[in-house]
Amino acid sequence: MATIYEVSKLAGVSLATVSRVLNNNTPVREATRLKVMEAVDKLGYHPNSVAQSLASKRSNSIGIVVSELNGPFFGTLLSDIEAAFRRAGKHVIIAAGHSDEKLEKESIEFLQSRNCDALILHVEAVTDEFLTELAAKDIPFVLLNRFVDGLSDRCVTLNNQHGGYLATNYLLSHGHQRIGYISGPMWKHDAEQRYFGHLRALAQHNVNPQERLFYEGDYHEEGGAAGLHALLKADPAITAVVCANDEMAAGAITSAREAGLSLPGDLSIVGFDNVNFSHYMFPKLTTVDYPIGSMGMMASRWVLKNVYQQKLDDIQTVFEPRIIERESVARPRVTAQ
Amino acid sequence: MATIYEVSKLAGVSLATVSRVLNNNTPVREATRLKVMEAVDKLGYHPNSVAQSLASKRSNSIGIVVSELNGPFFGTLLSDIEAAFRRAGKHVIIAAGHSDEKLEKESIEFLQSRNCDALILHVEAVTDEFLTELAAKDIPFVLLNRFVDGLSDRCVTLNNQHGGYLATNYLLSHGHQRIGYISGPMWKHDAEQRYFGHLRALAQHNVNPQERLFYEGDYHEEGGAAGLHALLKADPAITAVVCANDEMAAGAITSAREAGLSLPGDLSIVGFDNVNFSHYMFPKLTTVDYPIGSMGMMASRWVLKNVYQQKLDDIQTVFEPRIIERESVARPRVTAQ
DNA sequence: TTGTACGCGTTATCAA
DNA sequence: TTGATAACGCGTACAA
């Protein structure tokens, strides 16, 4: 690999001048610029990014922590983030936190040790205090799908509560009254918020929430399956179920079919997230759209603007969900009493 | 951030000694090692990985090129690769090639410019010649799902032909004779191989392949939907279809239902890949398992062994697919003539 | 077993 | 507008 030194020798100028034309940050006479460029071409010179990083104290790398690398959800997130940074000549280092406090911390430390210029974090298990302390350190970061007091300007969140409201409201406005709710783990902020939204919709329609119509699942297929089973047992007369994410909706659908129900005739189901396989399901799932791709892009813009000083418009920090109507909801056979 | 220099001062030893205890590659007296460790703790010292890279000419980073970041397929691949390298203290830089020759080349160049120690490539559009030339350069790489003559030891592949054979053979042994085939783009090696396997199974059962029963799709849902539509038009009497991947199977299922067919009674379907949502489909998809996770891990091992000199067992380069029986295949209503 | 001194390939600060 | 030259933080011959 040719170095900047060889370029300077071939072009007959100093190291500094070569560096200048490469980064064109200082005026250089056109003639000398051409000489340098020619030498660069001739030698097939590419700057060594490691040396650049050491000298400039910029690694041009952004660390990302997500819960899982597989799964439909993070795929679209990572895809949009990678594209945004690639265009800016930055690269992305990815680590999985697995929704586990210890692993999330390790991931963050790992990324710090890699001298990332910034971090984009989708962490669930780590405490607010930890994040507040982290904010005092030197690596800036954005939080995805999480709101922490005092860090509001770096939180890119979904209005989860409104999402929960939309799901249940959709069902109510289709005539359902006995609505089961399969939640995510309630220690997760988004699960809690979605449930609050559900309660708000219920209240608005003067429907009393009932404990037996609530099931706390795990955000996975199994939890959805088990949840529907439990709900049906608790109240065989339910006409609809909202699942706090699409994977649980998939499990619920399987479970409902095993119970001999026809969908959506006997039971309507609404999901949450609108992951990319939700329309592969049968019936195609009516769900709440989580614009995770846009949110990832916004997080990238935050970094580009605040860390790399790009001039960009203001950052949108709160995103609104919307209902995606497909085929998993029908009016109930008889209006529940 | 504390540097090695401050540690050496606090511990009262030289720079070199600190470096030695950190990398424990040279014998150091226990007493001095302790002094150093203490100083490290007291200062909260973490080595600067950029400086390490520059001095050692090792970036401890591995570049990965995949077609897409989203999608179920690459998620599980990346997940296993990341885990393998994390354990070894390496990190992974990811780039998307989008099955496009220009973008794939750019991704590779991008990763090279990042001084990756090795590359793991899942590239489709780039030519064999390009890869052969690349092999002559200084960054070692492994190829995933692709076989190139002369680079056989660094190719980790699936026996795609056998997979195609298995899919069709499964159908044939269930009594099907009129079997449609929805292929991936035939310029892709795996699509071609899977089709060859299909033909081999047909021949073995003395069934003549018919051109009208073949449709070249795009490996996406749309192609599957269009393919089934076309196949049904060409021969309404087909009793089964094999789809060269699961996403096309999803499209085919939708299309079949729109045509009023009941599944699997009227039409049996077999997919390929066994992506993670294939059992969310209805009927749950019978498909050919592509052990992409294991293959990713094997590629990681290749790198660990050949680039980082870890002592590991031999590398398995060819993986065998197997059929996953679920619920999308039934015996045909009447045996086709 | 330990220390000295140089090299890794750039960027950035001063002078000129 | 250009050129020396000192960082940047660490690894590693070589010498002691």
Let me know: does A71 contact B80? Beta carbons within 8 Å.
no
B114 CB-near residues (< 8 Å, 6+ apart) = A49, A91, B59, B61, B63, B93
For D9, nearest residue by CA–C1' is B51
Give me the pLDDT at residue A334, please: 64
User: In A178-209, which positions are buried (b, 16+ CB within 10 angstroms) versus exposed (e)?
Assistant: bbbbbbbbeebbbbbbbbebbbbbbeeeebee
pLDDT tens for each residue of chain A, 337 residues long? 789 999 999 999 999 999 999 988 888 899 999 999 999 999 999 999 999 999 999 999 999 999 988 877 788 899 999 999 988 889 999 999 999 999 999 999 989 888 899 999 999 999 999 999 999 988 999 999 999 999 999 999 999 999 999 999 999 999 999 999 999 999 999 999 999 999 999 999 999 999 999 999 999 999 999 999 999 999 999 999 999 999 999 999 999 999 999 999 999 999 999 998 888 888 999 999 999 999 999 999 999 999 998 888 888 999 999 999 999 999 998 644 4
pLDDT by residue (tens digit) across B186-233? 999 999 999 999 999 999 999 999 999 999 999 999 999 999 999 999
A50 at interface of B, judged by CB pairs closer than 8 A: yes
Report which of B285, B296, B287, B286 is spatially closest to residue B319, judged by C-alpha positions: B296
- Tell me, what's the pLDDT at B335? 47
Nearest CB to A49: which of B48, B114, B253?
Answer: B114
CATH topology for the A61-159+292-321 domain? Rossmann fold (3.40.50)
User: Residue B234 — φ and ψ, nearest 5°?
Assistant: -70, -35
Residue B206's Cβ-count burial label (10 Å; 0-12, 13-18, 19+) is exposed
Give the whole-angstrom CA distance, residue A271 versus residue A285. Answer: 7
Residue A259 neighbours by CB distance under 10 Å: 14
A96: amino acid identity, one letter: A
Domain ranges for chain A: 4-56, 61-159+292-321, 160-290
The pLDDT, as a whole number, for residue B334 is 64
Closest-CA residue of B relative to A221 is: B280
Lookup result for tokens 């077999």: B270
Distance B278 CA to D13 C1' (A): 58
Given a cut of 50, whether residue B336 has pLDDT beyond it is: no
Q: How large a percentage of chain B has pLDDT more than 70?
A: 99
- Residue B129 predicted with pLDDT over 70: yes
B237 touches chain A (CB under 8 A): no
Compare all CA atoms of chain B with the CA of A62 and give the residue at the minimum distance: B93
For the stretch A281-316, pLDDT in tens is 889 999 999 999 999 999 999 999 999 988 888 889
| Residue B276 sits at the chain A interface (C-beta within 8 Å) | yes
DSSP string computed for B1-54: ---HHHHHHHHTS-HHHHHHHHHT-S---HHHHHHHHHHHHHHT----HHHHHH
Give, as one character, the DSSP assignment of residue B248: H
The minimal CB distance from A50 to the residues B50, B83, B250 is found for B50
pLDDT in tens, A106-156: 999 989 888 899 999 999 999 999 999 999 988 999 999 999 999 999 999
Measured in residues, chain B has a length of 337
Task: For residues B332 and B329, give the distance between their C-alpha atoms in angstroms, rounded to a whole number.
Answer: 9
The whole-number Å distance from A48's CA to D7's C1' is 18
Using a 7 Å CB cut-off, which residues contact strand C?
A 1, 3-5, 15-16, 19, 22-23, 25, 45-48, 51-52, 54-56; B 12-17, 20, 26-29, 31-33, 51, 54-55, 57
Q: Is B262 on the interface with A (CB under 8 A)?
A: no
Tokens at A292, concatenated: 């995770």
Q: How far is the CA of B57 from the C1' of D2 (A)?
A: 32
User: Which of B100, B105, B280, B297 to mutate to test binding with chain A, by most A CBs within 10 Å of its CB?
Assistant: B280
Please check whether strand D approaches the CB of A137 to within 7 Å.
Answer: no
Q: Which of A50, A77, A120, A326 to mutate to test the interface with B (most CBs of B within 10 A)?
A: A50
Whether A55 contacts chain B with CB within 8 A: no
Q: What does the alpha-carbon distance between residue A268 and residue B142 come to, in Å, rounded to a whole number?
A: 48
Which of the residues B4, B48, B50 would you substitute to probe the A interface, choosing the one with the greatest number of A C-beta atoms within 10 Å? B50
- Which of B97, B136, B91 minimizes the C-alpha distance to A111? B91
Q: Which nucleotide is nearest to B14 (CA to C1')?
A: C3
**CATH topology for B4-56?**
434 Repressor (Amino-terminal Domain) (1.10.260)
Strand D contact at CB of residue B51, distance < 7 A: yes
Strand D proximal to A28 Cβ, under 7 A: yes
Q: Which nucleotide is nearest to B8 if distance is taken from CA to C1'?
A: C3
User: Are A38 and A12 contacting, i.e. CB atoms less than 8 angstroms apart?
Assistant: no
B286-314 per-residue burial string, b: 16 or more CB within 10 A, e: under 16: bbbbbbbbebbbbbbbbbbebbbeeeeee
For CA atoms A254, A256, A262, A266, the dihedral sign is negative
Whether chain B has a CB inside 8 Å of the CB on A337: the answer is no
Is B250 in contact with B223 (CB distance < 8 Å)? no
d(CA A20, CA A27): 8
pLDDT value of residue B107: 93
Neighboring chain A residues of B95 at a CB cutoff of 8 Å: 82, 86, 91
Q: How far apart are the C-alpha atoms of B41 and A135, rounded to whole Å? A: 22
* Rounded distance in angstroms from the CA atom of residue A104 to the C1' atom of nucleotide D8: 30
> Which two tokens mark B280?
């969310």
Over residues B290-302, the mean pLDDT reads 95
Residue B138 banded pLDDT, cuts 50, 70, 90? confident
Please, are residues A249 and A224 in contact by the beta-carbon 8 Å criterion? yes
Phi and psi of A299, rounded to 5°?
-60, -40
CB contact under 8 A, A70 and B53: no
Residue A307 in contact with partner chain B when CB distance is under 8 A? no
Is the per-residue pLDDT at B1 higher than 90? no
Residues 6 or more apart from B107 whose CB is under 8 A from it? Answer: B65, B95, B96, B97
Cβ separation of A277 and B280 shorter than 8 Å? Answer: yes
Q: Tell me the shortest Cα–Cα distance from A296 to chain B, in angstroms.
A: 13
Q: Quick check: do A4-56 and A160-290 share a fold?
A: no
Nearest-Cα distance to chain A for B71, in Å, is: 6
CA distance B266 to chain A (A): 17
**Residues A178, A183, A184, CA angle at the centre, nearest 5°?**
170
- Residue A54 has its nearest CB partner, among B54, B83, B281, at B54
Of A61, A70, A82, the CB nearest to B76: A70
The reported pLDDT for the residue numbered A89 is: 85
Domain A160-290 has CATH 3.40.50.2300: yes
- Measuring alpha carbon to C1', the residue closest to nucleotide C1 is B28
